[in-house]
Structure 1
Amino acid sequence: MLRFIANFDRATVEARIASGPCRPLAEVRLDTPVAWPNKVIAYPANYHAHIEEMKDGLVSTFKTGGQGFFLKANSSLSGPADPIVLPAVVGREVHHECELAIVIGKGGRDIGRADALDHIFGYACLVDVVIRGREERVMRKSFDSFCPVGPWITTADEIADPANIALELHINGALRQSANTRDLIVDIPEMIAMASSVMTLFPGDIIATGTPAGVAPITDGDVLDIAIAGVGAMRLAIVRGTAGAHPVWDKPAS
């Protein structure tokens, strides 16, 4: 998939679609579109309303976009046919975070804002799942299945205005999160510029754009629906797993 993204040629793909055999979508199992990107980059607290609901003493830093970004483990990626598996940790809440995924198409270093959108291959739905607590963020967000991405990649040329994309998340049919990319604190070009100022971006790298207000616990048996206008939608089951227990989680979450 990384080679496909790096060498993408729409005319060749459309010719294959026109001439090759096809199967109904209902007959295939979709995996996460990019299973092993070079990295998954995530921007925290990137909507003002979410900052206010978190109230963790870093409000002024977050509001300037000065928090920067963090990395999630590639092994946390899962797809639209996979459940979100809650770890066997007692006394901790696990929360959903509705986000847009940016998939890098053309890599580079020190990419300027003016050129940033030219480096995007496409967009997908992403759920950033987190166990709440004071441990390092990367640890709390990197359990297996804690980064569903899919159901496919909608290529950048199919999105008229990436600064005006509506997204929402429902749990058991009830709306939990609703926002638009126009409300981002660090916008999409700046995310690419900031990340590439630190490290080289490669084709297939995934950037999670941050979550809006409305994060809340998910529990065994819940059904999560994420939908992003023009991009796609996923329905994910929430199940309780048997792995993940460790004494590090035994202390109180706060």
Structure 2
Amino acid sequence: MWDTLSKFIPPLRWVLLLLVLTLVFAITQIPASWAAYFMTQGNTLALSGVTGTAWSGQARMSSIEIDNQHYSLGELQWQLKPLTLLSLRPCADVDARLEAQQIEGRACAGLNGRLTVTDASIDAPASLVQAGVPVPVQGQLSANLQTLSMKGQSLSELRGNLSWTNARVQVEGTWATLGSFAAEATYDPEADALVADVFDLDGPIDLDAEVRLPLAGGIFVEGELELTGAFSDQIQARDWLPMVLDHQSGNRYKVDLQF
């Protein structure tokens, strides 16, 4: 029996190779608009000015809406991973750029409207999140996402880390330099909120806090911080900070804020 089967193995390899080559050829001929249609079904990803092919294409402008908040992604390019089509969950390596903003990673689209992004890096100015912050901010945001998953318009999973370097805030018309900070972030499905453990990297503020951002709105911060003496004098912290935070001792304060 083995002798009989062995006669068919070489032809079978050639048949499989022919099928793969046919699939690759077909993908290279399919217009990018078909791929764009499939990628935007059942979710809030929007693409316009689409050119190229399903295998390798680009959109002149792209955007995404997460829990009613609109985010522009800029020009988007993708390179399809053809074998992922066999699982009906196509994946592509994507690169989106908009002025000082850059996003790179792998995006996978499911038939159930789920959009998953893995191994992604994001660099953007802090002004990107200005709408959710009560004071003007400056600096550079950098994020590394292990995974981000959306189903329809709702976030369903998030794991990653974030840094804010050269952080500055404006208070009463004066800019204060805060240093640099980092955070380990996850999504809490029970509370429907982003949760981040935030800590300082350098600068005049020693910070250890938990930040919760319910997707329904609001910011909750709880933890502790300590200022250097020079920075405390610069911003005249002793005159006003005890009215906002719980003064512990010296330049140390307990943080319990809600915006």
- TM-score of the superposition, structure 1-length normalised? 0.22
Higher relative contact order (CA 8 A, sep 6+): 1
- TM-score of the superposition, structure 2-length normalised? 0.22
Say which one has the larger Rg: 2
**Hey, which of these two has a bigger chunk of strand by percent?**
2
